[in-house]
Structure 1
């Protein structure tokens, strides 16, 4: 007896004009996001590449930019570019992972629009980067640079695959210097979203980051 295939879930509205896709097996359970701007549409990391998601993106007007937050979030980026003719943005150290795609690279920061910009936060991977969206009090899309713990609080997570732990901690310090409680309200993490218990973002982000004992994290051991 054949079993019916489950129908893929539609992306979920997180905030006005921001959608979160279901976790993607091809990116180790990563969560991709989609920002619908007046100026352009920005896809953050590769979502599951199925008909449901393709039709959703088409209905929203397609994709102009695909921003990759880190090397494990590439997924079907090449297929997405072929489908929509979008530009792929990735930090220069990880561009070699897309040899058959046309990519735009940056060193430390890159401005996409008057509302969206990206900046380099190395540590989790050599080219780990975040995207900042200046609406809704400031939303930071962190990839795997900052993830929710079991209490839904943003933390750095050291694993056996972490590229450079001290740099990751330093990248958090730079985020705290770059923003304040008025300019950074929410974080949309690129994985571990199940810890948010149905939510897709962490609020009061700056205040929670400011409470982290970064010196203690610096001495923490890797989680296998």
Structure 2
């Protein structure tokens, strides 16, 4: 979602901040009085403050799904793994819309986040309402860790990031998903990277400003690929020709089992996004890790085929 647009149901963060202690945050739960009728009866539920960001549905698909603009519990957790995934969804929900009828211990879920995805790549969890619930990721590397887009500045996550070596760089794929970037910069002293076309009042203090559409090497194994379209300054980050961090440029549609780009949420220029997708198809990668939407992992030849199919569908709607 465009950072200048306020979703009509965004009204709270899932943690209450104590002004006297920036690390003291108390979880606020969903309200049983606001429970959605679609929830199956049982322990966990989603209330009507849900903003339909999709986080819980892909994080814990055995428990949560989407229907008519809201998430809901379609099956109560029945195994330890399902319970932990449900707890991870509670922690990661950007507006605290997931609740339980009884007290819960979130220790194991906190230990799972950040969650390893692939060789030194981690999913952070703890989504922020400021980015409409965008996912963020950590690249762990000896030269200094890179945080891709901003999660919520939550105490358990910050402590785990410290344990993983801190944050040296913060790569912001585009202006919508900057969320708590100032707080992470203030705590870790990390330098932030954003394209000049997406700079605004909230990002005027960014340390490293990208310019133009040229591909740049952030490090020998990391490339910055400008992909204007969703926003004028959208960029992807390619790690070791394997993992592509896509922001809101590209994701996976689990229902259609295909790659997806959204014309409905293209805030800048759809024709430029098509051109950017064609440019991106010239690179090799196995993982698509988006800000919004579901991630996917495919062999390179299959990913290439899916990219060509997507470009065909996008071109047909231009």
Q: Which has the higher contact order (CA 8 A, sep 6+)?
A: 1
d(CA) in 2 for partners of 1:162 and 1:100?
Answer: 21
Kept in 2, the 8 Å contact 1:92–1:127? The answer is yes
Partners of 1:152 and 1:37 in 2: how far apart? 32
CA 1:6 to 1:70, structure 2 compared with 1: closer, same or farther past 3 Å?
Answer: farther
Matched, 1:13 2:116: yes
Equivalent in 210, 214, 218 of residue 315 of structure 2: 218
Corresponding residue number in structure 2 for 1:185 = 286
Deviation at 1:156, TM superposition (A): 1.1
Decide whether the 8 Å contact of 1:130 with 1:143 is kept in 2: yes
Query: Does 2:173 align with 1:73?
Result: no
Aligned residue for 2:216, secondary structure, equals: strand
- In the aligned structure 1, how far is the partner of 2:265 from the partner of 2:173? 19
Provide the rounded CA distance (Å) in 1 between the counterparts of 2:285 and 2:313.
23
Superposed CA RMSD: 2.3
Q: 1:95·1:103 contact (CA, 8 Å) conserved in 2?
A: no
Q: Which residue of 1 is the match for residue 200 of structure 2?
A: 96
Structure 2 partner of 1:115 = 221
Task: Give SS of 2:281's match.
Answer: helix
Please list, as runs of the form range in 1=range in 2, the aligned pairs for 1:140-151 lying within 5 A after superposition.
140-149=244-253, 150-151=255-256
Match of 2:232 among 103, 108, 126: 126
Residue 264 of structure 2 is matched in structure 1 by: 159
2:42 aligned residue: none
8 A contact 1:155–1:209 mirrored in 2: no
Matching residue of 1:196:
none
Q: Which has the larger radius of gyration?
A: 2
Note the alpha carbon deviations across 1:14-66, whole angstroms, 9 max, x for none. 11200012243221121101000122211000012100110111011111110
Taking the aligned partners of 1:50 and 1:167, their CA distance within structure 2 comes to: 36
Q: Check 1:102–1:190 CA distance in 2 against 1; reply closer, same or farther (3 A cut).
A: closer
Matched residue of 1:123: which SS? coil
Question: Aligned equivalents of 2:129 and 2:137: distance in 1?
Answer: 15
Aligned mates of 1:151, 1:87 — CA distance in 2: 38
**Deviation digits for residues 169-201 of structure 1 (CA, Å, limit 9, x no counterpart):** 110101113x2xxx32221111113xxxxxx43
Structure-1-length-normalised TM-score: 0.83
- Quick one: distance in 1 between partners of 2:132 and 2:205? 21
CA distance in 2, matches of 1:47, 1:152: 27
Change beyond 3 A, Cα 1:172–1:27: same
SS in 1 for 2:134: coil
Taking the aligned partners of 1:64 and 1:110, their CA distance within structure 2 comes to 18
Contact 2:252 2:296 in 1 (8 A): no
TM-score (norm 2): 0.60
